[in-house]
Amino acid sequence: MTNTGFNFAYIRVSTEEQNFESQMEAMKDLEFAKIFTEKRSAKDTNRPELQNMLDYVREGDTVYVKDFSRLARSTKDLLNIIDILESKKVKLISIKEKLDTSTPAGKLMVTMLGAIYEFERANLLERQKDGIMIAKRQGKYKGRKKILKPANWSDVYNDWVTRKITAKKACELLKLKTNTFYNFVKEERKETA
């Protein structure tokens, strides 16, 4: 039985605050059997939806991404993902770069683009680090702005401590991220210890 081949999309943003809109917009004229989305850093390939997509696709399928940086941060990871897809006879197409990895020219261009992206990211991080060092020397670097406890902290914290609400609900009520909530909880426990 031959697979007719389906189109799939992989859409990734790095943080919870970001949204998928620009990537969805880039693919609005295509039809997909399934869209894999996740809010995760690309620092490695151990991402649930990426792994689901790699497991799910079959011979004859095509995976679309807005650009290759959505798949991987390093050239090595990008090429590994492409190898996995190629071994399954799955095409990978980048909308932004207009590249199809199933062609020899496409594979060559992906390798070059991956190396350029990796180089650009390393340069960006280096410039950022240099800028922070200079700002620190000049006394201008303040670091991240300190987050203050919300006005309703005591009430919500007490409800959480007495198990009237879950941590998730507490974060919603306080409009805080989970890690910030638990940092405040640590502070609170130190103060009352």
Q: pLDDT tens digit string along 20-32?
A: 888 989 898 899 9
Arithmetic mean of pLDDT, 149-174: 91
Q: Which residue has the higher pLDDT, 99 or 153?
A: 153
Least confident among 27-31, 67-71, 141-145, 183-187? 141-145
Arithmetic mean of pLDDT, 131-143: 80
Alpha-carbon torsion, ordered 93, 95, 97, 103, to 10 deg: 20
Predicted pLDDT of residue 88: 92
Residue ranges of E strands in 42-128? 62-65, 91-94, 99-100
68-77 pLDDT per residue, tens: 889 888 778 8
Arithmetic mean of pLDDT, 107-129: 78
Q: Which is the catalytic residue, given 14, 22, 69, 154? A: 14
Whether residue 3 has pLDDT greater than 60: no
Q: Can you give the residue ranges of every domain in the chain?
A: 7-117, 153-192
- Among this protein's residues, is 14 annotated catalytic? yes
Given the candidates 3.40.50.300, 3.40.50.460, 3.30.930.10, 3.40.50.1390, the CATH classification of the domain at 7-117 is 3.40.50.1390
Predicted pLDDT of residue 193: 62
Phi, psi of 186 (to 5 degrees): -60, -45
Tell me the pairing of strands 99-100 and 34-39. unpaired
Whether residue 2 has pLDDT greater than 80: no
- Asked if residues 89 and 60 have their Cβ atoms less than 8 Å apart, the reply is yes
Amino acid at 24: M
Distance CA 70, CA 112 (A): 16
Residue that the structure tokens 């914290």 belong to: 157
Sign of CA dihedral 20, 23, 71, 58: positive
Look at the pTM and tell me if it is higher than 0.85: no
Whether residue 1 has pLDDT greater than 60: no
Whether residue 18 has pLDDT greater than 80: yes
